Structure 1
């Protein structure tokens, strides 16, 4: 037997799954981009604030599961006083806690922005990370939808300040009260159905990724992906699914032909209705093919809901009409901001208008396919989140930009001075407010 001591084994240098290192070029490119975004926000009258990465788990919101160890979807640990803490899931729930805790010292409306890392305890994969940076802007204490319209216009201004040309992006707007009203109509109202409603919302939020047929599976029994992994569905029956799906399918109805007015083409004269998407009229200009006017989209949505009308749906349609009028009068028009009934957002706490910033240019994905880049951020109204702490109504609205994903887009457009080789874009869309 040898007396020689065994040499200690070398540790294997490896990153935890779903995490990544950042190079100097990436850091500098991020700083350059963030500085431009800050300039837009501050021009709109927003001030910075910073919250910690950890929050008490119960403060993060009812979208988290109820269990003895609440670590599904979040990274959690138990403090020495037996209280559960979690790494923040997004930047919105911590802001709600901050506002409630400092309510007497905050002047409303409270207009604030912040950037920071958020964490998701989810299965990592191509384009899906467990740690990523978000950049949020929120207004607390402003109940009118004019603030939601302002947020959408600020998102549009941010895209253009970053060098994304008009036509290469669109801000899509919907109202969660529409879907809430539909879910109520099919028997999913009330607190007892909150978990099932959340599963429905997350299924619909994957429309861009899986298409109508994939969402149909997720609304029902579930869906198996290419790797064989199975995602359990929302468990809706055939009648319930057939009620929800028409809200998501592309408009097959009539479109307007129009003559452009103005240099930027954002204002149009709406002529007499002549044709369908399948056979667009010759008079329709190339720059607006396939786009519905805000007015027609709202009318189409109103038509789809005609047999399900209730108070929530009526409120949603009225609010969307108001937003459309504000956007149009401000000169933003349908090329930059438009109503889209398929926008849902995957978190339970949204209570009104919701919106997404989508980049519409083509990129190459990890399979070498040409695809539309897709969403780089979104948000909406969450009037109940601060109220959970206050016991009184506190309206709020805001949006979040996925910093890393947006930086990838800017590199592909040649808008950032990063020196590394740009790899094919990974266009996997993440749930909820992640860097979509």
Structure 2
């Protein structure tokens, strides 16, 4: 009996030990199978860029998804270089555009741990003067830029021969590759002038016909006189819904409803008179402008009789009721005169001297020699082209500084200004833009 009891106890102990070992193995197995949860980083997605073309000081805003993660920092790379920044939110990144970035095309992407966004690109236009390669070697009659837009509108002569003229409206838009030609519906060809009020509203003129656009020349409304012969037609005034077109002999077309209707006045008899055997021409108008008092002025000269005499006329509305101001002063510098105000006219003599008048062309004062052409930004700020340099004064000609070295034998046709941008147009594809 005693022996049996001992055997039973041994068996029980062995059984307990076996069960303990099984339990221990199960615990170890359970411990071995415990794994840390996998951290999932969702795909970084770019939905929209505020722009793809920037100047230094602008801010690139990027909207999208998954720009933040609770376990990892968000890294931004521009041209492969890590940039110090913090995302604004999970759906917004704003990148200041600085001069540390490359002028021209730039690429960027965002990275969170080992997850990387697609690469996107933008174009950086440096401050100062920059050449734009557009319109090949065509002559650019004039161009316009605006503060709230990166569009450029130009009147471009696309004629192939040096003595031919065939000007149409063209446009450039800015994107990640720089300035590229945009689609426009140019209103005919052989246009004589273009004037833009902003990046949507503008008028092109061909003869006494105007083309009024309110959508960046995607379309236009035709207005004016189909019969009248016109010479050296200019768009002398433009606003959001009105426009004045004028020719060298005093013919005018006026619209105040974006070209839906128009009012036409015929050339002045003392400048051009129609006859059965052809018109007679007695003089010409070369420049127009509006004074600070609100009156419109036109400057020119009579050439029928010797000696030639100045022509100065004014109007309260710019298209009719013109009054003679001066027709007796001997003609000196009205051929290239530009009206700035009633007490300031600038002109250039045949000897390339910049001259000014404070009495509507009666007397003149020398300002600068070796002047090929000149352009007006304000009453005291002027540009001149001299010896392939663009010079600037902001003190009415007392001092001059070199703004831009131009290619040899450059011919500048036009300069337009917005608050911080300036664009220069000329022959043989000459096109420069400046951003202050």
- In the superposition, the TM-score normalised over structure 1's length comes to 0.25
More helix by share: 1
The structure in which a higher percent of residues are strand is: 2
- In our comparison, the structure showing a higher alpha carbon Rg is 2
Structure number with greater CO (CA < 8 Å, separation at least 6) is 1
